Amino acid sequence: MGLRKLALLGAAIASAGVIVATAAQAQNEQFIPGLVYRTGAYAPNGIPFADGVRDYITMLNERDGGINGVKITFEECETGYATDRGVECYERLKGKGPTGAAYFSPLSTGITFALTEKAPGDKVPLITMGYGRSESRDGAVFEWNFPLLGTYWTAANVAVQHIAKEIGGLDKLKGKKIALLYHDSPYGKEPIAALEAMSKKYGFEFLPIPVPAPGSEQKSQWLQIRQQRPDYVLLWGWGVMNSAAVTEAGNVNYPRDKMIGVWWSGAEPDVVPAGDKGAGYKALMLQHPAGKSAVYADLEKYVIGPGKSLAKPDEIGSVLYNRGLINSMLGTESIRTAMAKFGNKPMTGEQVRWGIEHLDLTADRIKQLGFEGMIGPIKVSCSDHEGTRLSRVHQWDGKKWNVISDWYTADDSILAPMVKETAAKYATEKKITPRDCSKES
């Protein structure tokens, strides 16, 4: 017993120290937590994203002194992509700062699922930009979830549209065979429902092939692909699984330009390890390309130049670093939107939620923020927590990503009924009464 008490005491002292430190801070601060993974099997993808998130916030603090005069405090917590560690980080960080955490972006579908259960009780919104539950776009049921910029169902639909365009029209899809090589987790399984619905509608054959996590071993899956000879392979991987898939495709000589990755399989760490074998590989874009937009001028001046960034030089301007910047930009712009209604003071989670739900970035505003060419206009509402359903495709030429398509818009006639049905099922299971979006202001 003695040791148990001692251990509890130790933890209590440690947490008490944290609490005291928090209380001593100034009251005019907005706290933004960062759930990151800089270690483990997914670190190559987790690090550039985390650096992007961090650098944009640092830039706002250095250049503008925060948001409308409210300084931002930021703290990271390492999750290692593990759900239970993510939950612990969330519990540790949600109450920090004078008004608690503004929003969480866990960058893990598993952690998102777990936090979806906790966020409504704690009144903290979740910004899951391009991941998480696809049906959480229905804000009537998922009041606190914001899968901004795109869900996996949007991605699946755009991928099929691109294939159709390459082969000459949606009617040509009939009789074609499309395989989905996916990470065997909720993340990888998300697009299956949408692809099955489209395979019924367009008449292509759909072949799901699971890869057990973390996905570094894919010999048997590629043997199956060689036997089945699908016309296209969609890749839904993360971390080491992506580069392993591209390498393996090279080994069995499957044409790389017939492979289309989701936006989480379309960054530099996914193709660089594959070397020459990666050339020709295509991936969806979460709207934004690699490269530097106008905002980099200020980033260089206030963050990277003075050495305040943790990012390595080759990370800067990479796909995932840009995505981190956009994640922070959407989050802080939502706080700004909330401030316009509630006043220039630190916002509570509830007020930030209102801010995200009323986020409206026009093309002009995006240009002003320095993100022109990165994302299209986005307008979030109670009934649509995704805000936009646009995507593009880029291709790796062995050295860099080149944008090869125009903007696609996902076909909502297929997706909207699916979202409605799945969200309703969730509402019955959890005994939630959906909000009436026509009455929300």
* Interface with other proteins (CB under 8 A): 1-4, 7-8, 10-12, 14-15, 17-19, 36, 38-39, 43, 47, 76-78, 80, 83-84, 87-88, 91-92, 95, 109-110, 113-114, 116-118, 121, 133-134, 184-187, 189-190, 192-193, 210, 213, 310, 422, 426, 429-431
How far apart, in whole angstroms, are the C-alpha atoms of residue 109 and residue 213?
14
What is the closest distance, in whole angstroms, from the C-beta atom of residue 78 to other proteins in the complex?
A: 4
Judged by beta carbon, residue 278 or residue 349, the one nearer other proteins is 349
Judged by beta carbon, residue 18 or residue 404, the one nearer other proteins is 18
What is the closest distance, in whole angstroms, from the C-beta atom of residue 349 to other proteins in the complex?
A: 14
Judged by beta carbon, residue 76 or residue 440, the one nearer other proteins is 76
Tokens 């608690």 appear where? 100
Question: Which uninterrupted H or E stretch holds 219?
Answer: helix 219-228
Q: Do 96 and 53 form a contact (C-beta atoms < 8 A)?
A: no
How far apart, in whole angstroms, are the C-alpha atoms of residue 407 and residue 389?
10
Judged by beta carbon, residue 160 or residue 369, the one nearer other proteins is 160
What is the closest distance, in whole angstroms, from the C-beta atom of residue 51 to other proteins in the complex?
A: 11
Look at the alpha carbons of 51, 53, 59, 62 in this order and tell me if their dihedral is positive or negative: negative
Judged by beta carbon, residue 179 or residue 419, the one nearer other proteins is 419
Judged by beta carbon, residue 431 or residue 439, the one nearer other proteins is 431
Judged by beta carbon, residue 29 or residue 196, the one nearer other proteins is 196
Q: What's the token pair of residue 375?
A: 């994302």
What is the closest distance, in whole angstroms, from the C-beta atom of residue 60 to other proteins in the complex?
A: 21
Strand-strand pairing, 401-403 and 145-146: unpaired
Judged by beta carbon, residue 10 or residue 275, the one nearer other proteins is 10
Q: Alpha carbon of 77 to those of 11, 14, 87: distances in Å?
A: 17, 16, 11
Give the helix ranges, DSSP H, for 128-212: 152-167, 186-202
Q: Do 221 and 228 form a contact (C-beta atoms < 8 A)?
A: no
How far apart, in whole angstroms, are the C-alpha atoms of residue 55 and residue 318?
13
What is the closest distance, in whole angstroms, from the C-beta atom of residue 22 to other proteins in the complex?
A: 11
What is the closest distance, in whole angstroms, from the C-beta atom of residue 310 to other proteins in the complex?
A: 7
CA angle 313, 321, 117 (to 5 degrees): 145
**46: exposed, middle or buried (C-beta count within 10 Å: 0-12, 13-18, 19+)?**
buried
Give the helix ranges, DSSP H, for 33-185: 43-64, 83-93, 109-122, 152-167
Q: Do 373 and 293 form a contact (C-beta atoms < 8 A)?
A: yes
DSSP type of residue 293: -
Question: Which uninterrupted H or E stretch holds 393?
Answer: strand 390-396
What is the closest distance, in whole angstroms, from the C-beta atom of residue 327 to other proteins in the complex?
A: 17
What is the closest distance, in whole angstroms, from the C-beta atom of residue 91 to other proteins in the complex?
A: 4
